[in-house]
Structures are given as C-alpha cells and as structure tokens.
Amino acid sequence: MSDLKIGIVGAAGRMGRMLVKQVSETAGCVISGGTEPAGSPFAGKDITALAGLDASGILIGEDPAALFETADAVIDFTAPEATIAHARLAAEKGKIHIIGTTGLTNEQQAQVTACGDRAVIVQGANMSLGVNLLAQLTRKVAHILDDEFDIEILEMHHHHKVDAPSGTALLLGKAAAAGRGVDHDQVADRGRDGITGARKRGDIGYAVLRGGNVVGDHTVIFAAENERIELTHKAGDRSIFARGAVRAALWARGKAPGNYDMMDVLGLGD
C-alpha cells in the first residue's frame, strides 16, 4: 500500500509545524502540502524547512481546495469557521478530515457533523492517548459515584489560548455527565463570579487558568464530605497531540464516510 498523503492546514503555526514534523517522521505517510490564509508571509515557503527539517520543495499554498484535491487526508488544528469550510471541502472531495480544532458552537458542530455523510471525519477535543484514557476513567468514576460527590474540572493553558473552557475540559465534563446519565448542558456551570449562592447539587463545575507557556493541564475532582478523588493529566509538549492526529489519519484510511472520534481510533469505546 502506498504512503498516505497528508496535508496540513495552518501549516506555519506552532501546531502546524509540529504536525509537519510528525508526519515526516512517521512510517506509512508523507507530507503532500499545506496551506496558510491568503496574504500570509509564509505562503510560498518550503513546508518542511519551516518545520526545521530538510527542504522538500513542497511550498505552502493559500488554496485549501487544491490541498484537499491532492491529499488523502488533511489535518486541521485551525479555527471554527475555517474548520467548517474545510469539512465541506472534505465532503465535496470524499477525503479524510482530522479535526483538532476546539471552540465550535453547537451550530458550528452540527455543520461539521453533517459533512460526515460524505467524508471520513475524525474529531477530537484532544488527540492524546493519555487524555482519552482520562476521559474513560472520568466516565467510569462518575458512573460509580453518586451526586454526593461534586464534580469540578480545573484546566490551565498558555496565555495565547483563545477559548475557555478548553475543548479538553469540556470533553472531560461530557464524559462525567455521560457516566451519570445526565445532560451535560443542563448541569454545566462554566463560570462563577460574585455572590453565586451555594453550589447546586449535581452540577459539573469548570475553573479556567491561563498563563505562561503551559501546554495543557487538566484535573477532574470528585469531592465529597471528608474525601476527594483527583484525576490529572499534564501535557508537556504538543507533540503528543500531533502524534495522535497522525495516528488518527492512518487509522481512518479505508474507513466508510462517517463521524469518528479518538475513542474509535484508540479502541477505547464501550
């Protein structure tokens, strides 16, 4: 079987460069191209040289449609509006679309999901193995413990992050809600300020910290009278997300159109 041709949208960003490096170092796949928004100073630059590797002669372009035309799979850690446009291109051309973008609204998510009718879409709020294991543990612990245990989710990221709570924090909160058999959106408390009154029993609370260059720290706290259980994952480098995304692209090869997640990729589903 020939190598999987992988394209990277947002190829010049911090995550994009990490993805280029990961693809280049992974057996079974090759870089086919990358894009940046129109007018970017990185357009026309050698994609692998920009990632700190030997020059490949593959230049960063500005046309996502051309990228989807030539690639077997496209990895996307961009922004919600861009991701919607990319999902539509994946559906139009019947390609694999690996999505690590976070911060989508429910309406935006619905638009992406609809594209799974004609594209293989693998979407993950976090692509790392450890975080997905944490989500599974969170679901199981929430299922075992009743609402005598309050659930709080604490996350910290670097000061450049634009969405809050993080997509990973919401992934963990939704896992806890699923474990309890409740509607996450009905019990999520995403911010507290001022005189809020006593904590509502059964809520899933979120606390957000931003600062420095923290890649991503997440802790799920189950707190009851006189005891507390804490489940924590700390990311030390973005390479764990790139590694997971490339693994997802390789896994998706030959799959039927549909919407998949990292639980499917890692075989961690129920």
How many residues can be counted in the chain?
Answer: 270
Mean pLDDT of the 129-135 span? 93
H helix or E strand, kind and range, residue 205: strand 204-210
Per-residue model confidence as pLDDT tens digits over 87-97: 999 999 999 99
174 SS3 class: helix
Q: In this predicted structure, what is the pLDDT of residue 270? A: 60
Contact 74, 95 (CB under 8 A): yes
Q: In this predicted structure, what is the pLDDT of residue 91? A: 98
Per-residue model confidence as pLDDT tens digits over 249-263: 999 999 999 999 999
Per-residue model confidence as pLDDT tens digits over 216-244: 999 999 999 999 999 999 999 989 999 99
Give the residue numbers annotated as catalytic, written as ranges.
157, 161
CATH of domain 129-235: 3.30.360.10
CATH of domain 4-123+238-266: 3.40.50.720
Mean pLDDT of the 145-173 span? 95
Range 22-29, long-range pairs (CB < 8 A, 24+ positions): 22/239, 22/242, 22/243, 22/245, 22/246, 23/75, 23/246, 24/48, 24/51, 24/53, 26/246, 26/250, 28/3, 28/4, 28/250, 29/3, 29/4, 29/5, 29/246, 29/249, 29/250
Q: For the purposes of burial, counting CB atoms within 10 Å of the CB of 160, is it exposed (0-12), middle (13-18) or buried (19 or more)?
A: exposed
pTM of the model: 0.84
**C-alpha–C-alpha distance, residues 117 and 8, integer Å:** 22
Domain with CATH 3.40.50.720 in the chain: 4-123+238-266
Domain with CATH 3.30.360.10 in the chain: 129-235
151 SS3 class: strand
Per-residue model confidence as pLDDT tens digits over 168-220: 999 999 999 999 999 999 999 998 999 999 999 999 999 999 999 999 999 99
Q: In this predicted structure, what is the pLDDT of residue 159? A: 97
Query: What residues have CB less than 8 Å from 106, skipping those under 6 apart?
Result: none
Per-residue model confidence as pLDDT tens digits over 6-50: 999 999 999 999 999 999 999 999 999 999 999 999 999 999 999
- DSSP-assigned beta bridge partners for residue 185: none
